[in-house]
């Protein structure tokens, strides 16, 4: 009954606040939402209220909640075999690696599995360091790469740093971002060219022979959903090739259909040396991440052992979920759906909204991956919340969205809109209306 469900939710909340220590939160004042059920594009909270999930949780439920084929695959795998050491062969792991290799760009044909995005980043950098014999890692400001020791240090976002800054070799540079251009550019072509010139100088002054890798999110997600100008990634690729630097595309958030392509980098005609993924690979039903590896990097470890491993690398439950997710995405045209919903429903609705509200400073995105940047004033661009914090206005907006039945992500002064890639046009309109 409804009363019983509410009692279970109340008990869960009470135990949570007593015993669960939450990510990124001030534990004392944190008031998390209880989720009691989920299906498709919706979740239900502790009061039994139905909310449209415009966040895909943490931008991971790309195939929607409780997809029956994925749930069934997990159940069947659990009944067959639940754990297999990484040095043995498992059919689901082999098949997941094949399906991923077929979809990753170019010749990225081998996969090292991890349990999370941060671990994928750690291992990609490890591979690059051993491959090159160099140490430094270049990464961008306005980036997020994970919360483990190295991943947090290459992350270019002060909101994420505690006492971490200072890992040897982590060097940040500016990426292109026309709305708040570090280069005072006035158009996209100028921004692209100046960002590449800036990167070339950073490489020169850091010393190319000391730089193992350059890691960048194809479309920076957490820091603001910032698609690059059309030729930027090709330019980065050329600089990396010229200087023997391993190019790592971090597609943990923007990969697996989110931008309306299997991988965001597909739009930019560029093949990195390594590509990190997680989240959407199996919609987060069971933790899974990984690194897709180009042959020339993999060859480094043909005759010498790869110095790294994880007990749960390629866990059969997670891989079974990935096989079912990728097959369902292919069979149901989920990637195309994300692109079409983005082009025909989300973007036009946001552009129309921007006409009516002077607080909308900038709109950016692709597919089902959009940011609405809110400002006090369109000419000064003063943000409605500080970069590394929030504001009363944003807190109230979030509460109002929830009250009206929609759950977006609020990050700094931005509303991030990231529903499942399976969202229907009617559901998308319902959320956009709110």
In contact, 145 and 158? CB cutoff 8 Å: no
Q: Give the residue ranges of DSSP H helices in 217-361.
A: 232-243, 295-298, 316-331, 334-341, 347-356
Choose between 134 and 258: whose C-beta lies nearer to ligand PLP: 258
Nearest to 264 by CA among 300, 218, 232, 308: 218
Residue 321 Cβ, how far from ligand PLP at the closest point, in Å? 15
Residues 6+ apart with CB under 8 A from 30: 22
Q: Distances from the Cα of 159 to the Cαs of 95, 163, 223, 364, 367, in angstroms?
A: 38, 12, 10, 21, 27
In contact, 57 and 418? CB cutoff 8 Å: no
Choose between 375 and 418: whose C-beta lies nearer to ligand PLP: 418
Nearest to 271 by CA among 289, 293, 256, 298: 293
Q: Give the residue ranges of DSSP H helices in 379-424.
A: 392-403
Choose between 46 and 272: whose C-beta lies nearer to ligand PLP: 272
Choose between 138 and 360: whose C-beta lies nearer to ligand PLP: 138
Assigned token pair, 299: 């060859």
Instruction: Report the distance separating Cα 122 and Cα 148, nearest Å.
Output: 8
Residue 47 Cβ, how far from ligand PLP at the closest point, in Å? 28
Residues 6+ apart with CB under 8 A from 76: 320
Residue 59 Cβ, how far from ligand PLP at the closest point, in Å? 7
Q: What is the H or E stretch that residue 45 is in?
A: strand 42-45
Give burial (CB, 10 Å; 0-12/13-18/19+) of 16. middle
Q: What is the H or E stretch that residue 11 is in?
A: helix 2-19
Find the helix packing angle between 91-103 and 316-331, rounded to 10°.
40
Choose between 156 and 361: whose C-beta lies nearer to ligand PLP: 156
Assigned token pair, 174: 């500016």
Strand pairing category for 246-250 and 211-217: parallel
Instruction: Report the distance separating Cα 76 and Cα 147, nearest Å.
Output: 33
Residue 392 Cβ, how far from ligand PLP at the closest point, in Å? 26
Residue 264 Cβ, how far from ligand PLP at the closest point, in Å? 10
Residue 25 Cβ, how far from ligand PLP at the closest point, in Å? 15
Residue 114 Cβ, how far from ligand PLP at the closest point, in Å? 9
Choose between 285 and 375: whose C-beta lies nearer to ligand PLP: 285
Choose between 42 and 144: whose C-beta lies nearer to ligand PLP: 144
Instruction: Give the burial string for 79-90 (b: 16+ CB within 10 Å, else e).
Output: eeeeebeeeeeb
Residue 4 Cβ, how far from ligand PLP at the closest point, in Å? 34
Choose between 151 and 341: whose C-beta lies nearer to ligand PLP: 151
Choose between 117 and 169: whose C-beta lies nearer to ligand PLP: 117
What are the residues binding ligand PLP (CB under 6 A)? Answer: 58, 116-118, 121, 144-146, 217, 221-222, 250, 252-253, 278, 289
Which residue's CB atom is positioned nearest to ligand PLP?
117
């Amino acid at each position: 009954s409804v009363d019983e469900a509410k009692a279970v939710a109340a008990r869960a909340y009470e135990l949570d606040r007593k015993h669960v220590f939450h990510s990124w939160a001030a534990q004392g004042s944190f008031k998390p939402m209880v989720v009691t059920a989920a299906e498709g594009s919706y979740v239900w909270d502790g009061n039994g209220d139905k909310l449209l999930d415009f966040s895909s949780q943490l931008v991971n439920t790309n195939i929607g909640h409780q997809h029956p084929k994925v749930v069934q695959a997990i159940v069947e795998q659990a009944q067959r075999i639940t754990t297999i050491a990484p040095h043995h062969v498992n059919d689901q792991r082999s098949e997941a690696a094949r399906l991923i290799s077929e979809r990753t760009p170019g010749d990225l044909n081998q996969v090292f599995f991890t349990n999370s995005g941060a671990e994928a980043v750690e291992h990609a950098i490890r591979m690059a360091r051993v491959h090159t014999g160099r140490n430094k890692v270049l990464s961008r400001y306005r980036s997020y790469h994970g919360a483990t020791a190295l991943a947090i240090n290459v992350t270019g976002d002060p909101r994420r740093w505690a006492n971490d800054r200072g890992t040897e070799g982590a060097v940040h540079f500016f990426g292109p971002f026309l709305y708040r251009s570090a280069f005072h550019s006035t158009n996209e072509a100028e921004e692209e060219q100046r960002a590449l010139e800036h990167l070339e100088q950073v490489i020169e002054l850091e010393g190319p022979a000391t730089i193992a890798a350059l890691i960048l999110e194809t479309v920076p997600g957490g820091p603001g959903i910032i698609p690059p100008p059309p030729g930027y990634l090709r330019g980065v690729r050329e600089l990396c090739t010229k200087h023997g630097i391993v190019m790592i595309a971090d597609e943990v958030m923007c990969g697996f259909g989110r931008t309306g392509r299997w991988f965001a980098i597909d739009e930019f005609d560029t093949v990195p040396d390594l590509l990190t993924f997680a989240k959407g690979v199996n919609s987060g039903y069971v933790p899974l991440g990984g690194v897709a590896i180009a042959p020339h990097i993999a060859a480094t470890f043909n005759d010498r052992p790869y110095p790294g491993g994880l007990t749960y690398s390629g866990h059969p439950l997670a891989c079974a979920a990935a096989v079912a997710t990728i097959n369902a995405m292919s069979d149901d045209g989920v990637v195309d759906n994300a692109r079409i919903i983005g082009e025909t429903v989300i973007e036009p609705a946001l552009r129309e909204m921007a006409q009516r509200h002077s607080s909308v400073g900038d709109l950016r995105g692709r597919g089902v991956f959009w940011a609405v940047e809110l400002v006090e004033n369109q000419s000064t661009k003063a943000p409605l919340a500080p970069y590394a914090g929030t504001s009363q206005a944003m807190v109230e907006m979030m509460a109002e969205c929830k009250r009206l039945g929609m759950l977006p992500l609020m990050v700094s002064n931005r509303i991030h809109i990231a529903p499942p890639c399976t969202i229907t046009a009617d559901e998308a309109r319902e959320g956009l209306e709110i």
